[in-house]
Amino acid sequence: MDLSRPRCRVWRELVLVASLLACGIRQASSQIYIAPDSLIGVERYSSSLAVENAPEDVQEYSWHRGANDTEENLIISYNTTSHSRRDGPMYSGRESVSIRGTLRIWRSQLNDTGNYTVRVDTINDTQRATGWLEILELETPQISVNTTSVVDGEDAVAATCYTNDSHIRWYVNYVPVSGNYRMTISPDNKTLVIRMFGRFDSPLQCGIEILPELIQKSDLIYVTVAYGPYSLLLSSSPTDFNGILSAEIGSQVEMECISYSRPESKYRWIHNGSLLSFSEKNITLPSLTWDQMGRYRCIAENSATQVTLYEEVHVQAPCECSWGPLLSPRHRPVVSRSFTISGSLLVLLIIFIVLGFTHFLAVLIRALFRHYSTRRKLLSDSTAQLGPSKGTGDLPHPGSFPSLIQK
């Protein structure tokens, strides 16, 4: 399609011209005419020429190609009395007439452009009206982007819509958009720039307004968006708990890394600090040995986004208790570690504690009372032996102290 040649597709001007032509054809207020807004058609779409101001006693509608209603120009006619139709020499197989006299041309073509004459026959009269039908060439806009591969949330994409039409609309992921904080549309509407292009911004599409409510869209153009890895998950069988996987010697152990990434993540496994030789997202140990115990780390890498994530799991033997490994798990005694006290027993326990504490206080008080009573008696006896005080001359002889001490 040659986008450089001018288009006669300004429908508002064409409607105005058609209206003037229709007004010139009308001779009186009761004269029939072809609706001006129906005199515009689009290639590959259906066109409908509507008859306006038709009388109520119409017996037949007949449509002719050209400005005359001769039999040689007849396209199709419809008899309202017998509800029958008649095809004429100009019938192409794409025309039909409704009971209201509207001529419909299916899948309009550019060579359908020209004059169309309708004749309305009533019981007492015959009226004619002619109008120029303009079939517009259907232009399909073309679209291109500056790049088709970006990183999620990092790169910008500029899309260009190639058309001579000025009524351009943009669609991002099938949704019509306008300018916002992340999207900018050029003044002529032909360029859309999306900053921080995301994985939900594809595909892109532009469209042009052929007629009101008729949008001709371009082909979809897809942008490959690299993202991830996101939400790295390490699953295992047997199931690990808080990164600890308990497995018996000789049993089978399976571990798998799951991540969301585009392109698909590359995986590496490290066992106790040593890089394993394979690079698959899952690892299987058919018969677990002591050498295979230890810590396993799964690393997921995306070369496009330069993002790396990892998860770890520790493989170890089940916990062995004091009775040793001679007993299998199903034969090991079950020890209850719970201890509960009923309500009545709790009340009795509190009473015993209170009574015991009371008895202890009573014994303590009694012992203290006896101790102080005995001490007081000893002091009284010693004072009686010393006698009444008679001044300094009556002090006892120092030789008497030993006897007092002995007593």
Q: pLDDT tens across 147-195, in order?
A: 999 999 999 999 999 998 888 999 999 999 998 999 999 999 999 999 9
β partners of residue 217? 207
pTM of the model: 0.59
More confident residue, 26 or 247: 247
Contact 139, 1 (CB under 8 A): yes
Q: Residue 395: what pLDDT?
A: 44
319: number of CA atoms within 13 Å, CB side?
3
Q: How much is the pLDDT for 406?
A: 40
Residue 70 to residue 99: CA distance in whole angstroms: 22
Same fold, 142-222 and 227-316: yes
The share of the chain scoring above pLDDT 70, in percent, equals 81
Q: What is the mean pLDDT of residues 298-316?
A: 94
Q: How far is CA 369 from each of CA 226, 355, 364, 375, 377, rounded to the nearest angstrom?
A: 92, 21, 9, 10, 13
Strand-pairing partners, residue 170, are 177, 206
Name the pLDDT band for 29 (thresholds 50, 70, 90). Answer: low
pLDDT above 60: residue 24:
no
pLDDT at 57: 92
Task: Give how far the C-alpha of residue 330 lies from the chain's centroid of Cα atoms, to the nearest Å.
Answer: 48
Predicted pLDDT of residue 386 = 54
309 token code pair: 């994530």
Q: Is the pLDDT of residue 399 over 70?
A: no
Q: Give the model's confidence band at 383: pLDDT under 50 very low, under 70 low, under 90 confident, else very high.
A: low
Task: Calculate mean pLDDT across residues 12-18.
Answer: 44
DSSP strands (E only) in 146-186: 149-151, 157-162, 168-172, 175-177, 183-185
Q: Which residue has the higher pLDDT, 392 or 70?
A: 70
Q: Spell out the domain ranges in the chain.
A: 11-136, 142-222, 227-316
Burial classification of residue 304, based on how many CB atoms lie within 10 Å of its CB (0-12 exposed, 13-18 middle, 19 or more buried): middle
E strand map for 274-383: 274-275, 282-285, 294-302, 307-316
The CATH homologous superfamily for domain 11-136 is Immunoglobulins (2.60.40.10)
Coil, strand, or helix at residue 106? coil
Query: Which tens digit of pLDDT belongs to each residue from 314-341?
Result: 999 997 654 444 444 444 444 344 455 6
Read off the pLDDT band of 371 (50, 70, 90).
confident
**pLDDT exceeds 80 at position 5:** no
Identify the architecture of domain 227-316 in CATH.
Answer: Sandwich (2.60)
Could you tell me the CATH superfamily of domain 142-222? Immunoglobulins (2.60.40.10)
Average pLDDT score over the chain: 83
Which helix (H) or strand (E) segment holds residue 371: the answer is helix 343-386
Asked if 211 and 138 count as a contact pair (C-beta separation under 8 A), the reply is no
Return the bridge partners of 260, or none. 230
